[in-house]
Amino acid sequence: MSGMRSVSRRLLRGVSRLNFILLYYEILAVAMTIRVAVSGIPRGFQYPRDDLNWLQEKHIEQIKTISPEIELVEIPADKVPTEPDFEVVFAEGGNRTHYHGELDWEDYQKFFTKSLKWVQLCSTGFSDNITPAVLDGSVTLTNAPGIHTMPIAESVVTAMLDHAKRLKQRRIDQRDRNWTQLKCDELYHRTVLIIGLGNIGQRTAKLCKAFDMRVIGTKRRVEPVDNVDLVFPVDELKDHLGEADYVVVAAPLTPETRYMLKEPEFRAMKSTCYFINIGRGAVANENALIKALDENWISGAYLDALEVEPLPVDHPFWGMENVLLVPHDSHSSPYIGDRIVDIFCMNLERYVQGKPLSNICDPRKGY
């Protein structure tokens, strides 16, 4: 009988050791898991799902292939739990101006728990995404520069051609069955001044060169830029505005660029100059722009970025014949999702390997 009790004790000790080992590996697996939340539909994304998520099967596979440690969770923007527990958040939204399908400011902030280490945005601009944790460095914020470069640059050239070829009047004449020949312009040898020679500005310059335009523009660090005839610092902007047939705002909103275009700058432009803003609305003082358009200091404007969005229904811009309004979607493209996931996966791989992330946002500089 004592022999049986001895065997039983040995068996129990063996089971206990096995349970301990299993528990150890279970704890280790949890500790090694990287919980990733995806929330908010990228603005301009054309294939959202009915459940208000957006990743396609190819995107999910692409993300999970990075590492077996990744636990991927999709959360609709309006269903963020009260206390989410994620190390990484792949987010769209968090802006004080809320768009359907995106995270609003309050739900964006919910993700900022003690577990959070990194937020990857689906956008380039991040002025509304700065939180105390981002400021103190406990959470790294990265953006996605370049995802909108192609479609926005194409939209800029489209706006130029629309203006030069008077397509609006063509449509009016067609509607009225009015067979009238018009005096149109060319882009050939016209001068475009690009404020902000970043990704979008440089792509715009390349397209403009295809029309044999003269391209000039501003850059924080003055250096040669492909397809740009003259690069100059921002403090020389007013000196060159009078040369431009087209002025394109492609700069981010920073303390230095906020309201950089005021009455003196608009007065310095030609009366035939066409103004295009695909950057940020607050780069131009809105009252000064309204006055410039109303009093014909400039010929017109293509406005994709506005200081207040959505634009209030009683805003003067709605009724201006020389304004083309675009609801901040000049970047619309069927390829947005693929480009965003490529950028995220590039950074996620670096994160898993313990390497420094790319495209880290500096909240104090604004870029």
Q: What are the start-end ranges of the H helices in 55-138? A: 57-64, 105-110, 132-135
Confirm whether 280 is a catalytic residue.
Answer: yes
In a shared domain, residues 140 and 162: no
pLDDT tens for residues 169-211?
A: 999 999 999 999 999 999 999 999 999 999 999 999 999 999 9
Which residue in the list 59, 280, 331, 339 is annotated as catalytic? 280
**CA dist., res. 100 & res. 309, Å (int):** 13
Average of per-residue pLDDT across 137-155: 95
pLDDT band at 12 (very low <50, low <70, confident <90, very high): very low
Q: Is residue 1 part of a domain?
A: no
- End-to-end CA separation in angstroms for the chain: 78
In a shared domain, residues 115 and 232: no
Q: Is residue 366 part of a domain?
A: no
pLDDT tens for residues 208-227?
A: 999 999 999 999 999 999 99
Confirm whether 309 is a catalytic residue.
Answer: yes
pLDDT of residue 17: 56
pLDDT tens for residues 21-52?
A: 444 444 434 447 999 999 999 988 999 999 99
Domain region containing 260: 149-325
In a shared domain, residues 113 and 261: no
In a shared domain, residues 162 and 132: no
Average of per-residue pLDDT across 138-164: 96
**In total, how many domains does the chain have?**
2
**CA dist., res. 196 & res. 216, Å (int):** 10
pLDDT of residue 27: 40
In a shared domain, residues 180 and 54: no
Q: Is residue 97 part of a domain?
A: yes
In a shared domain, residues 117 and 202: no
In a shared domain, residues 186 and 317: yes
Look at residues 246, 231, 237 and name the one whose alpha carbon lies nearest to residue 197.
231
Which residue in the list 71, 87, 309, 350 is annotated as catalytic? 309
Look at residues 245, 236, 250 and name the one whose alpha carbon lies nearest to residue 203.
250
Q: Is residue 3 part of a domain?
A: no
* Residue 14 pLDDT greater than 70, yes or no: no
- What CATH number is given to the structural domain containing 303? 3.40.50.720
pLDDT tens for residues 277-300?
A: 999 999 999 999 999 999 999 999
* Residue 363 pLDDT greater than 90, yes or no: no
Confirm whether 265 is a catalytic residue.
Answer: no
Which residue in the list 59, 328, 331, 339 is annotated as catalytic? 328
